[in-house]
Chains A and B, each alone.
Chain A
Amino acid sequence: MPLWFARGLRRGVVTTRYPARPDSSSVFLPTPPAFRPGQLTRETADRIVAACPNTALRRQGDELVFDVGACTTCGRCAAAAPHAVTSSGEFELASTSRSALVKTIPIRGGLR
């Protein structure tokens, strides 16, 4: 049983105050990846693009295009390049425009 749930039961408060207050359970949620541009070479970018089972990642020249809306937070990119990809910790992802969900990440590359 998660600790936040047990604490809530003991205090007699089981309802979250979200969105007025952050919910303590949110740290357990799977979240989309965040990329480290300094670690992101073209080769690494191509590797994580190949690892993506959806249409969430593609490389455009020296930019990695990440479509948050297409991401299923499967974690395969983080498994393919653990030094360049980490978890973003963001779950509040709703948007009023589809294009705002598409992010471009610069590839600085050239380290190797």
Chain B
Amino acid sequence: MTPEQDEAEAARQVRERIAGQFGRSLHIRTLDTGSCAVCEQEIRLLTAPHYDLQRLGFFFTPAPRHADLLLVTGPMVRAFDVAARKTYEAMPGPKVVVATGACALGGVYRPDAFVHGEVSAVLPVDVWIPGCPPSPLALLQGLSVAVGRLTEKITGLTFTADNASSGGAG
């Protein structure tokens, strides 16, 4: 077994363990690292009756010590470094970090004196949810992927459209 296979096998075992432990009940702590608050607005919509996050066993918690999953939004401003690390360290293991939105994924801000530009510069990110903002449905899919209930879909997508359906000029 090569080191890469070994690593992949270890990653699979960790994922299974997380799915087994978090499969039925998962507590989420949100962390705003300088976002414009639209991601927060979509996250808050998850608790509204239409999406009803609690039916899936997901709950929001105000304390990182009670949280299993850290839902991070924003481009990670440097002023937030200490607070972000303290929040992560206060969470009991095993823990999952989810980067949410284009800012957190490094698409909007470049690293400079004020921002890191992406969450993975400070915290070890496990799941990435694109979108600006990600819709509540996209967040639900991301959370389901994080606990291993759904498999990710993005790897199979090519983002190319069928040429025959185009009505444009050649």
A: which residues have CB within 8 A of B? 5, 8, 14-16, 18-19, 23, 25-26, 29, 32-39, 54-56, 66-74, 82-84, 86, 88, 90-98, 100-101, 103, 105, 111-112
Quick one: which of A36, A69, A72, A92 contacts B141, CB cutoff 8 A? A92
CA distance A101 to B107 in the complex (A): 12
Given A34-B159, A91-B135, A111-B170, residue A96 in contact with residue B51 (CB < 8 A): no
Q: Quick check: B155 and A33 within 8 Å, CB to CB?
A: no
Nearest-neighbour CB distance to chain A for B120, whole angstroms, equals 7
Q: Which stretch of B26-34, B62-70, B76-84, B144-152 is in the interface?
A: B144-152
CB distance from B52 to the nearest CB of A (A): 5
List 12 A-B pairs, Cβ < 8 Å: A14-B50, A15-B52, A26-B137, A35-B160, A69-B128, A70-B108, A82-B168, A92-B153, A93-B129, A94-B145, A95-B128, A103-B159
**Cβ–Cβ contact A86 & B159, under 8 A:** no
Q: Is B19 an interface residue (CB 8 A)?
A: no
Is there contact, CB below 8 Å, between A94 and B168? no
Please indicate the chain B residues that have their CB under 8 angstroms from the CB of A55 in the complex: 106-107, 110
Q: Chain B residue with minimal CB distance to A73? A: B132
The answer to whether A69 touches B127 (Cβ under 8 A) is no
Interface check B91, CB cutoff 8 A: no
Judge whether B126 is part of the interface by a CB distance below 8 angstroms: yes
